[in-house]
Structure 1
């Protein structure tokens, strides 16, 4: 079993990407622990917390379709390097402002907008570059290893982030994140993936139309993107706005408690990554939706009995399921979508996934006084469960996907 999941590491360029990403993901985990507590420490309200994440997702939506088209036009390595370098500079500036006492909520909003734009280029590039780094027969293992980097970071990162924020404050967590971006840039700079043939010259709008036409010609792709785009809005609201308030006001915890919950999710993700990287799945479509059903049940678990031990189990279940589902989904796209289109289809996937992202955090902030943070988890999880059962029951394309 071990040999199969480690096979992608035999390829030097993938190995360099993976090492850099593994370190950078730890920094990202620190950042997302520190961000909500920094906003609250600056006197921000739940609404202002929601606005910060709304800005991030709005920037994504405005740019990501163009990002996917550009990724299919430029060398993917250059896109990844530029994103790492610019992200390090921006989060480093946030750290300096925080450490010198000049940080304001408005500056965090500007950083959120930048990270939304950077995400719109970085994520399609990461998915699109994978077939250039490893052979097709180890794509699932390669994606699982990439996932393991994030999962390990989400075990270590929240614990470290909670400790750093509780003892030294959010600005130090931002500084550590900046350092990890620079490390990732330096390591992947050493990679030299094979050069692709330049695509035919087209306008960006023509490229985007081509990507949309392909996406909506394949039922299992568009149905999954549209359906889980709606579901992901509830997840986004729950984990960005409701969870910090659930920790503080219902569980009566601290930033350290928030970190422990994140670490529990990371443990589940770690186990999920090890499992999916070592097995062969024949009915990929059914497997994706079965794990999405577990995701919905786990989200319900956060709210149905709001006690810390129950939340920790729910977090671990969510982490396990999301890694298995996302790895199978990403690998299915990489196998069935032409290489020349993968950047655009990936960007359309993320566009759909975050389509309701801009309004979800604000809607959650408005609903929390009426139903409480636990209610956000209950409603979102229930809707996810219904869709996870209904979609494969109604779509032969999903049931037959291998």
Structure 2
């Protein structure tokens, strides 16, 4: 037991973990609260699409800038400052709802503020985690964070739905803002030296340095380019085609689709527990091979979308995705110099986020234009070939742990 939770023995990580638990629990309500808040203002799907799109675009626009700032300033301080911004923006949304002054344009503006804030938080957190614990505990630390994230993904929307249904979306936003408020003093307990990065006054030069670190590592840009395709396939085939089939095929149905998504989350949850104790000695090799398992639920969804076998396949796919996520985070945190990590991570995140709207748009068109079962089976084959092919790239295949305490294969 103590081995899997060893990272909690590191004081700084312990306080950070407590802060993240609070924000992940309350933050898991955000998507439902925002969606129903917008629909309460204007019961039109186009209004909701506008608000969500503005948030995503704002995040993408500020992401690289956020990486530079997170390398220049104390990362815990950057996160705290963003939490203050989030409290003000989310609190304003709640106040507008409670006073009857909410409008879609006002919500779009506040959603843009939230999107920009998260563009600073994400690179800062990626750079902060390896500062909080030892290399020997890095995998366990990432697995613990993933465990909480997957757990609240399963339970958080249920709690949010109850709050929204009983007292309204404004109070769900109040709960979320209170979570951010509680996290600020917890993060204040993290004690770290000032950043070693010495900015030269040019953010553009910092961006170029980050790009140089990113592009100089074949394993990094190869996997990021691969995932631009893999993410587009996954979000399109799973999150667009899946609900479409559930709504039109009685073999699956909407209730069955809910069970399938729960099984996927359970697969992630179970794997995070295993990864607290089982070391990934070749994190990229096994991560890319494991993520190919996502092809299994895609193929089952296309060939025979019955709820039970699809749920089993989704469990396998979720477990495979978590192996990759943990392996990727550990490798990035170990291999990239700490004073450049947030900038490099922002390039990685940008590549991932850009692919998502591409996948939804392309598959939205393909579902209407071609035979859906054939589309999904072909998508599964491409996904498996892409992930396994990327695993065979020499620098990906050979990458080991930097921690000398982890023995080689």
User: TM-score, normalising length from structure 1?
Assistant: 0.86
Partner Cα distance (1:114, 1:261) in 2: 34
CA positional deviation for 1:166: 4.7
2:406 aligned partner: none
**CA contact under 8 A between 1:231 and 1:380: conserved in structure 2?**
no
Deviation at 1:184, TM superposition (A): 1.8
1:233-265 CA deviation, whole Å, 9 max, x = no partner?
Answer: 3434566666666666666648xx887665444
Give 1:152-167 correspondences, 5 Å limit.
Answer: 152-167=151-166
1:54-74 CA-partner distances (Å, limit 9, x unpaired):
433322221111111111111
| Distance across 2 between alignment mates of 1:171 and 1:376 | 41
User: Any conservation in 1 of the 2:257–2:307 contact (CA below 8 Å)?
Assistant: no
Distance in 1 (CA, whole Å) between partners of 2:241 and 2:335 is 37
Check the 8 A contact 1:51/1:361 in 2, yes or no. Answer: no
Distance, in Å, in 2 between the alignment partners of 1:247 and 1:32 is: 21
Structure 1 position 109 matched with structure 2 position 112: no
Compared with structure 1, are the counterparts of its residues 4 and 170 closer, same or farther at alpha carbon in structure 2 (3 Å cutoff)?
A: same
Aligned to 1:44: 44
Matches within 5 A, 1:1-400: 2-36=1-35, 42-45=42-45, 50-237=49-236, 253=254, 263-302=262-301, 304-310=303-309, 312-367=311-366, 369-370=368-369, 381-393=380-392, 395-400=393-398
Structure (1 or 2) with the larger CA radius of gyration: 2
Cα offset, 1:339, TM superposition: 1.1
The equivalent of 2:404 in structure 1 is none
Q: What is the CA deviation profile of residues 155-200 of structure 1, one whole-angstrom value per residue up to 9, with x for unaligned ones? A: 2213323444455554443332222222222321232223333424
- Change in 2 beyond 3 A, CA 1:233/1:113: farther
CA distance in 1, matches of 2:98, 2:330: 42
Mark the runs of 5 or more structure 1 residues left unpaired by the alignment: none
**C-alpha contact 2:287 2:324 (8 A) present in aligned 1:** yes
Cα distance in 1 for residues equivalent to 2:213 and 2:53: 29
Instruction: Name the Cα RMSD after superposition.
Output: 3.1
Residue 153 of structure 2: SS of its match in structure 1? helix
2:356 counterpart SS class = coil
CA distance in 2, matches of 1:235, 1:111: 29
1:46-105 per-position Cα deviation (integer Å, ceiling 9, x unaligned) = x66555444333222211111111111111011111122222222232233344554444
Preserved contact between residue 60 and residue 120 of structure 1 (Cα < 8 Å):
yes
Q: Cα gap change, 1:101/1:16 in structure 2, threshold over 3 Å: closer, same or farther?
A: same
SS at match of 1:117: helix
Report what 2:407 is aligned to: none
Per mean C-alpha deviation after superposition, the further-off stretch among 71-80 and 168-177 is: 168-177
Whole-angstrom distance in 2 between the partners of 1:168 and 1:349: 40
Greater RCO structure (CA 8 Å; 6+ sep): 1
Rounded Cα–Cα distance in structure 2 between residues aligned with 1:248 and 1:136? 47
How far residue 134 of structure 1 moved from its aligned partner, in angstroms, is 0.6
Distance 2:312 2:171 in 1: 30
Greater CA drift, 224-233 or 380-389 = 380-389
CA–CA distance in structure 2, aligned partners of residues 337 and 224 of structure 1: 15
C-alpha distance in 2 between matches for 1:88 and 1:335: 33
- Given the alignment of the two structures, is residue 401 of structure 1 paired with residue 399 of structure 2, yes or no? yes
CA drift of 1:207 comes to 1.0
- Tell me whether 198-207 or 310-319 shows the greater mean CA deviation: 310-319
Stretch moving more, 338-347 or 155-164: 155-164
Number of aligned pairs?
397
SS of corresponding position for 2:196: coil
> Residue 226 of structure 1: CA displacement?
1.2
Residue 320 of structure 1: how far off its partner (Å): 2.2
> Mind listing any 5+ residue stretches in structure 2 that lack a counterpart?
401-409
Residues 311-355 of structure 1, C-alpha deviation per residue, up to 9 Å, x if partnerless? 544543343222221111011011111111111111111011112
Answer whether contact 2:197 2:339 (CA < 8 A) is retained: no
The answer to whether the 8 Å contact 1:53/1:358 transfers is: no
Q: Return closer, same or farther for 1:315/1:167 CA change in 2, 3 Å cut-off.
A: farther
Preserved contact between residue 50 and residue 241 of structure 1 (Cα < 8 Å): no
Per the normalisation by structure 2, the TM-score is 0.84
